[in-house]
């Protein structure tokens, strides 16, 4: 099933910066949350139909401490304190998947740091197409 990538460096960023000081990112960089609680990255995501979609967030966390994020859709927190645990180093990117409800049309998906450490470094999100309602062909 199709997924669409949204680069963090192209999203709306509050109290974070676009950075390139580690390897392995996609696009032209990644977002550094700059160790601020409440800093966020907000993606504008289009959905053809309403339904639950898998949101895959590609991140790196080169510390030994979890960097939780609250995930909201259109102003409502749909997943609080999602864990973004340590990765091997800042050059090692892994994916965390969260299922989120999307409305048909444009959606604002925001990932907000919940601690003073800020979020993990965030590379992109991949959004799966909304629930497939097409009948199987066999």
Can you tell me the distance from the alpha carbon of 33 to that of 72, in angstroms, rounded to the nearest whole number?
17
Dihedral sign, Cα of residue 76, residue 115, residue 112, residue 80: negative
Does 68 contact ligand GCU by CB under 6 A? Answer: no
The whole-angstrom separation of Cα 56 and Cα 35 is: 22
Size of the site for ligand GCU (CB under 6 A): 8
Taking the least distance from each CB to ligand GCU, the nearer of 61 and 107 is 61
The DSSP call for residue 23 is S
Which residue's CB is nearer to ligand GCU, number 125 or number 127? 125
Cβ distance to ligand GCU smaller for residue 1 or 64: 64
Task: Say whether 74 sits in a helix, a strand or coil.
Answer: coil
Binding map of ligand GCU across residues 90-119, x = CB under 6 A, - = no contact: x---------------------------x-
Q: Could you tell me if 15 and 96 are in contact, meaning their C-beta atoms sit under 8 angstroms apart?
A: no
Among 14, 35, 92, 126, binds ligand GCU (CB under 6 A): 35
Tokens read off for 136: 């199987």
- Footprint of ligand GCU on this chain (CB under 6 A)? 19, 21-22, 32, 35, 90, 118, 121
């Amino acid at each position: 099933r199709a997924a669409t990538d949204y680069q963090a460096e192209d999203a709306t960023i509050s109290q974070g910066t676009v950075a390139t000081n580690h390897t392995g990112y996609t696009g032209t960089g990644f977002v550094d949350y700059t160790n601020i609680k409440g800093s966020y990255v907000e993606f504008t995501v289009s959905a053809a139909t309403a339904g639950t979609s898998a949101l895959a967030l590609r991140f790196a966390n080169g510390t030994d401490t979890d960097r939780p994020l609250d995930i909201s859709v259109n102003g409502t927190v749909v997943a609080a304190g999602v864990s973004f645990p340590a990765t091997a180093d800042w050059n090692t990117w892994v994916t965390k998947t969260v299922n989120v409800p999307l409305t048909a049309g444009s959606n604002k998906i925001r990932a907000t740091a919940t601690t003073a450490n800020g979020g993990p470094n965030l590379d992109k999100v991949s959004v799966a197409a909304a629930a497939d309602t097409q009948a199987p062909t066999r």
